[in-house]
Structure 1
Amino acid sequence: MRLTLHNVIFWPHLVAGVLAGLIIAVMSFTGVALAFEHQILDWAERDTRKVQAPAPDAPRLPLDEVIARVRAARPETPPTGVTVYPEPDTVVLVSTGRDSGVYVDPYTGEVREWGAQGWRSFFHLMEEWHRWLGAQGDNRPVGKALTGASNFIFLLLGVTGLYLWWPRKWTWRSVRPSLWFRRGLKGKARDWNWHNVIGFWLLPVLIVLTATAMVISYKWASNLVFTSMGETPPAASGPGAPPVVKVAEPAPGTPPLPLEALLVEARKQTPAWENITLRLGGGGPPRGNAPAQAQGEGRPKGQGPRKEGPTAVTFAIREQDGWPLFASTQVSVDPFTAQVLRREAFSDISPAGQVRRWLRFLHTGEALGVPGQLVAALGSLGGLFLVWTGFALSWRRFLAWRRARATVPAPESTEPSV
């Protein structure tokens, strides 16, 4: 076989695709399944999330009371966050973990389980396979390493595939077979046509999906976004970490104000709000029923509670018709005076921080709303077909190689006959 640049690129392309193909197929399939998770859950839980207001101007329970109802009903899973909505007929969402939570009637305090448990179990399973290949516990780092490496290989396959597709002569006759599906093809010709057409049209989408996945999967890739733009990478990994704002030490014995009073002040900063989220246990002064870590438990023996001083309570506020669609405004409020100490909109974030957040939501397509999610889903579906047609082409090449070997005559013996 004559050594050419085409062969130097083709054979690693083929071998890498065969080695990582199954994992790429798993991530592509689960990517399609997860594409419209939020819309499906919203539809499936449309009744569970609705409440009946006693009267048009009926008072709502204070935020502290809502949280207290959840702690009483679920003492084994303390609240980690709470989200309120402006609609009078909508529940309050109280999170009790990354993938768990309850709904609370803001008028009666009734605690409801999440609905659509079947859908939630399905999406949870899809996410586990998408991120960790279904690995659990201590095996998750191994699963994450495999998906991260396979995603990187998929990115390289896209780049090398573009070179392999590139016509030697740019004529309509040479380019047309790679631009659209041809009827009546079978076997190798069909697989080659599908592989090239899907790869050509979806290559930009696949490069975005795999490149953004690199930023999500690897700390060094995330840091590269900041260093390449002349900024210092943040200590916290990933976008959306709330700012820590220190407050002045109050007089001894001064109790913090109710969360409802802080919420009222934060809400004034963005009148046209869509929802407001407060993370619990991660800031502000300790409260009587706060989670264990907020009280200093779980620290190494002999160290006692943290002595960092009180911090502001930070609310994440999503605006109606805001842009970008995933953006939120962080409002930090002094828990003792209800004074707004900091207001950080998306436009106030550093350029690299904005790019990092865009990359996170471009990976799922949510950055561009439903059209973006549809494009991301099509990209993932195309990845499945690329794996299938790539395997088919490789298998046909292997069979052809075996047939060629079988037809080569054995060399004649030079030993004298007895």
Structure 2
Amino acid sequence: MRLLRRLLFWTHLVIGVAAGALVFIMAVTGVLLTYQKQMTVWADLRGLDGAPPAAGQLALPADTLLSRVAASQHATPTAIVWRSGASTPVELQFGREKRVFANAYTAEVVGTGSVGMRGFFRQVTDWHRWLAAKGERRDLGRAATGAANLAFLAIVLSGIWLWWPRNLTWASVRSVTWFRRGLSGKARDFNWHNVIGFWSAIPLVIVVASGVVISYPWASALVFRVAGEAPPGRTAAGPSPAGPSPSERSAGEGRSGGPSGALPGSLQPRLAVAKSQMPDWRTITLTLPTKPNADASFALDRGMGGEPHKRATAVITTDGHVAELQSFATQTPGRRLRSILRFAHTGEVLGAFGQTIAGLISLGSALLVFTGIALSLRRLSAWLRRRSTPALQ
């Protein structure tokens, strides 16, 4: 056992030093991304007037709203997002880059979203996912962050073993489970490292392990095998079939708004049918069909965007028939587990509470790296002093 503990210690230390910088970057960016969705929506809608101009006025039909905004922007939107609330503007997206917010009652464009907030989170996300690499270098950045995730999982698991006190007494347990005052230097770093590691151990394993699942196809396939299913193709293993949230689906991904032309008709009846599938919806995202007579796919969400059990996708034909309705309950166990892990990484699977926990865990991870590196440097310094002592004599 002593030999095993020593082997785990040096494995823990070496991997921690080697991957420390990357883990620190991912932890800090993870903290900054904690409330990304809420902050982006707040910044987009702040100060916008989406209220009806007169009491009792009804919102414009979806087809009328869409055609008027398309005419004013001289481009065809690729998606439209409705949010619950009588005074909330409707969001129309034009590919990845452009979006406008229109009054649902007049079709007047009242805002274009927060370019600054979205730009900030785009930069942070780039650092978190691929170390801000551009173009062809993104594959290298993605490989580096994936390896760092895997290394961090090894660090966390070995750390749980190393944390366990050799003498299981109340005094020894208390010294590594609670912050002690008056400490400095090595004693302080050791105390902080152990206490933060103890209180964050279980959620940290979930966050990091889910990050490994996101990073590696083999890990994602393993999730399906654990659930007793054959892994799906790479496309099917991506976003949950229960429907991406509006912030995930930059609608018309791969398309850009072009000159306004023939818009798909009969959207209003289909929107009404979609709403009936989830009466307590909070957001409805329609990726606009590219052909006038194509089926319309509505992503329904009664949560905050990252709760897969509160999302569904309804595919509705031109005559108002529900051709397909996918929800969390209709998915296979493997797909449900995969979607849970996807949003366990950000904590969103538990709503705002889970996001807060994930943010605190990310902050704790940064402190674990800091104290771990500090302890390693102190150990190296002490070793160098011991090596130099005989030469001085």
Of 68, 77, 101 in structure 1, the residue corresponding to residue 99 of structure 2 is: 101
- Contact kept in structure 1, 2:306 and 2:343, CA below 8 Å: no
Give the residue type in structure 1 aligned to 2:312: T
* Partner residue in 2 for 1:276: 284
Indicate the SS of the match to 1:61.
coil
TM-score normalised to the size of structure 1?
0.81
SS of 2:277's equivalent in the other structure is: coil
Q: Give the 3-state SS of the residue equivalent to 2:314 in structure 1.
A: strand
Q: Matches of 2:125 and 2:68 in 1, distance apart?
A: 30
2:366 corresponding residue in structure 1: 384
Q: 1:149–1:321: structure 2 CA closer, same or farther, 3 Å change rule?
A: closer
Give the distance between the partners of 1:401 and 1:50, measured in 2 at CA: 66
Name structure 2 gaps, 5 residues minimum. 244-262
Partner in structure 1 of residue 302 of structure 2 = 319
Structure 2 match to 1:227: 225
How far off its partner does 1:398 sit? 1.0
Greater C-alpha Rg? 1
1:402 aligns with 2:389: no
Contact 1:83 1:94 in 2 (8 A): yes
Say if 1:66 and 1:106, in contact at 8 Å, map to a contact too: yes
Tell me: CA distance 1:19–1:89, structure 2 relative to 1, closer, same or farther (3 Å). same
> What's the CA shift for 1:257?
4.5
**2:14 match:** 15
1:161 is aligned to: 159
- RMSD in angstroms over aligned alpha carbons? 2.7
Q: Distance in 1 between matches of 2:166 and 2:27?
A: 31
Pairs aligned (count): 371
Partner of 1:248: none
Instruction: Between 160-169 and 89-98, report the one with greater CA deviation.
Output: 89-98
Kindly indicate whether residue 349 of structure 2 is the aligned counterpart of residue 364 of structure 1.
no
Aligned AA for 2:363? L
**Is the aligned partner of 1:286 residue 2:291?**
yes
Which residue of the other structure, out of 337, 346, 355, is the alignment partner of 1:373?
A: 355
Which of 267, 270, 284 is residue 259 of structure 1 equivalent to? Answer: 267
Where 1:83 maps in the other structure, the secondary structure is strand
- Report the Cα offset of residue 311 of structure 1: 5.7
Q: How does 1:295-374 map to 2 (within 5 A)?
A: 312-319=295-302, 327-335=310-318, 337-374=319-356
Once residues 240 and 280 of structure 1 are traced to their aligned partners in structure 2, the CA distance between those partners, rounded to angstroms, is 19
Question: CA offset at residue 162 of structure 1?
Answer: 1.1
Contact 1:326 1:361 in 2 (8 A): no
Please report how far the alpha carbon of residue 362 of structure 1 lies from its aligned counterpart in structure 2 after TM superposition.
1.3
Deviation at 1:410, TM superposition (A): 8.9
Structure-2-length-normalised TM-score: 0.86
Deviates further, 355-364 or 388-397? 355-364
1:73 Cα deviation from its structure 2 partner: 4.7
Residue type matched to 1:314 in 2?
S
2:307 touches 2:348 (CA, 8 Å); kept in 1?
A: no
Of all paired residues, the percent bearing the same amino acid is: 42
Higher mean C-alpha deviation, range 270-279 or range 393-402: 270-279
Aligned to 1:26: 25
1:300-353 C-alpha deviation (Å, 9 max, x unpaired): xxxxxxxxxx86322122237999575212222112x22122223321211221
Query: Match for 2:136: what amino acid?
Result: D
Q: Deviations over 1:100-143 (max 9, x none)?
A: 52212222222344343332222221111111111112111111
SS in 1 for 2:99: strand
Distance 1:70 1:218 in 2: 41
Partner of residue 247, structure 1: none
Which segment drifts farther, 87-96 or 144-153?
A: 87-96
Alignment match, 2:238: 238
Residues 322, 136 of structure 1: CA spacing in aligned structure 2 closer, same or farther, 3 A cutoff?
A: closer
Contact residue 325 and residue 368 of structure 1 kept, 8 A: no
Contact 1:81–1:96, Cα closer than 8 Å, also in 2: yes
Query: Against the structure 1 CA distance between its residues 278 and 189, is the aligned structure 2 distance closer, same or farther, given a 3 Å change threshold?
Result: same
2:314 & 2:200 partners in 1: Cα distance? 40
- One-letter amino acid of the counterpart of residue 9, structure 2: F
CA–CA distance in structure 1, aligned partners of residues 132 and 86 of structure 2: 40
Evaluate the alpha carbon distance shift between residue 342 and residue 386 of structure 1 in structure 2; reply closer, same or farther with a 3 A threshold.
same
Shift of 1:180: 0.7
Q: Does 1:204 align with 2:202?
A: yes
- Which residue number corresponds to residue 305 of structure 1? none
Q: Contact (CA 8 Å) 1:103, 1:114: kept in 2 or not?
A: yes
Contact preservation (8 Å) 2:24, 2:366: yes
Q: What pairs with 1:29-44 in structure 2 (closer than 5 Å)?
A: 29-44=28-43
Is the helix fraction higher in 1 or 2? 2
Provide the C-alpha distance between the structure 1 equivalents of 2:303 and 2:146, rounded to a whole number of angstroms.
35
Please give the alpha-carbon distance, in whole angstroms, between the structure 1 residues aligned to 2:201 and 2:365: 10
For each residue in 1:211-242, what CA deviation from the matched residue of structure 2 results, as whole angstroms up to 9, or x when unmatched?
A: 11112222222222112212233332323347
Secondary structure of residue in 1 paired with 2:210: helix
User: Which runs of no fewer than 5 residues in structure 1 stay unpaired?
Assistant: 244-254, 288-309, 412-418
Task: Letter of the 2:32 partner, please give it.
Answer: A
